[in-house]
Every structure is written in C-alpha cells, then in structure tokens.
Structure 1
C-alpha cells in the first residue's frame, strides 16, 4: 500500500516509516499541513495524520479532504486520548484514532485494517428505502443525492450487508472492522453508527440491545 505519514516529530516519522516499510508499504512523509497537501497529488491508500501540526490542525485538514471528496482512509494520531477528542476526530471524517504514546505493532495493525478491502462485497448493491449503497463503486445515494461515506463507515456497512438480514454481534463487527474488541474500538463503533444514521437515515442500521447490529429495519 501507499501510506502518507504526517507528523512534525521527525524521529517519530522515521520510526513509523521504517516499521511500515518493513511491512512492504511505500511510505511518504510530511511534517506539516502544506507538505501533506502537496504529497496528496499522487494516489494514497492510507493517511496517518497527527492532530498537532506547526501550520494548522490535522483535524482541519481531515475536514478539508472530506469536503473535497477525498475518501482515503485516515488514522488520526494525538497526544490527547480523551473521548471528546476521539469524537471530534471521527466527526471530522477520520476512520480511526490512536493516542500517543502507542505501540508500533498496534499502528501497523490499524494501517493494515484501514487498507483492507472486502472482495466479497465488491459487486453488491443494496437499496434501503430511498438509500442506495453501491459497494463496488463505493457510492451512497440518499433520495438521489450523493452522500460522503468514509472507509471505516463502508467497512461497517459492508460487514452488515454480507450477513443479509441476520444480526451481527458487536464483538464480531469490531473484530471484522477494527481487528480487536477493545473499549476504544467499541466507543468508535458507537460514534460511527450514529454518524451513518445521520447521513443515511435512522433505519439504515438497526440495533438490538444485547444481540448486535443489522442492515435495514428487518
């Protein structure tokens, strides 16, 4: 995969780059927002993006990219691991969140998860009322209007769609999309399900307490 690492800490960038290159990824580096913008001229599969940058906010850059229609998966890094900041990052359009200090092994796993694509859902097209989800093209329409859906949100929807009318347990959904069932991943799942409902309608994802999640109302 092609990964862009954006962080103003040179030693951390070098450490992350070395680890990702050992996994076979092609890695580019940027130390600030402007360098990140220039680096995004070429196609990128995953962005690792620090919140605190010398010439701006990583969250602002994330919002900017989403507003421009760029749906590249984004992993946010921050020195503050508060729930409120996690929510801000996800609302900005990020797909995942990792607090500093972090284990390099966990970052590598999260990058792999963000870059993973489910071939089995590649040609599926689902209609739920006035909502159309085209998983092959990664296009979502609500009442004929295009809706921006992030990579992590697509992963949630794809997992639910692959189970048809059957419910998917929370742990199974977390394992499929995040690769772990930690409290942090569960918190992110709740935020993203809420965001999917705001974008596509309350009936797109149903929840049965104690049982799990499903696609549609029945």
Structure 2
C-alpha cells in the first residue's frame, strides 16, 4: 500500500471523526444557540452518570448471579443423582400429568416419587431422571454453561435498566429543545420576511 493511499485513508477518517465531533457539539461554533449548548451539556452529564454508575452495578449483579449459580451447581451435583425409573402410575387431570415413578437406589432401596410434566407418559415406560432430597425431576443438575448464561443475562439487564431511563430522559429533553429550536427558526424567518429590501 502506497504512502499516498494511506494518507488519503487517514484524511477520510479524520473527516469522519471531525464530522461526528461537530454533530455532538464538540466545537466552538458561534452559530449554536443556547438551547443547543444546554442539550449537549445535559447529554454529556447523563453519559457521565451512566459510565460512572453502571460498571459497579453490573459488577455487583454479575458477582451475585455467578456466585449463586456456582453454589447451585455444587449443591445439585452433591445431592442429586441419575436414576433409571419406571412409570407405575399416571394421573391426567386436564393437561398436566402427575407421574409416579419407581426406581432402586444403588444401596438396593426401592423408592417411589411423583413429578409433574406436560409431556406424554405411559405406565411401564422407562425414564432417566435425577433424584434428590426434594424428589425426582426430568431436569439434570445445573450446568456451568447455565450459570454463565444467567450471569450474562443479569449483567445485560442491569445495563438496560440503568441506560434506558437515562436515554428516555435525554430524548424527552431533546424533543423539548427541538420544539424551542423550531420556534426560534420560525421567528427568525418571520423577521427576514418582514425585512424590507431596497428603498
């Protein structure tokens, strides 16, 4: 790549950055009205509030969600085990099925328990379930991937919960500033229309 091409690309990037900077109000344009400066300062203030408040809130939410998820992983891995059960009874009181299953623990103890499901089930069917102190479930113990996803969702939720109200407030202020600008422009045009040119 030649030096001329690199300089041309750098010039285009500078133009884009300057255009973006001016559109955000970072210039010394004497034609800007007071309402433009108010809007720009308020936007900058809200951005600073967002950038200062969001990181600690996100860090707290992520730390709490991840810690809770890891504890649930360890607890479920320690207390729930995989069993091969046989359906011995099915009750269907209108859609949801209460299924009674029986299985034999590794120590030879015969056990039965109920769980509720929306899926079809028939007596004699064999299932892989997970048994624990709170009964049996078709849901396996919590995996680490679930903890990671839950943590990411929590962090994203905090960002949205913090940013959306600030953004909404900024848009309301911007709408008011736009109405003020339109009134000023209309008044300026009216003065120009009333200005007599010539003798």
Q: TM-score, normalised by structure 2?
A: 0.18
Greater strand share, structure number: 1
Greater helix share, structure number: 2
**Which structure is larger by alpha-carbon Rg, 1 or 2?**
2
Q: TM-score, normalised by structure 1?
A: 0.17
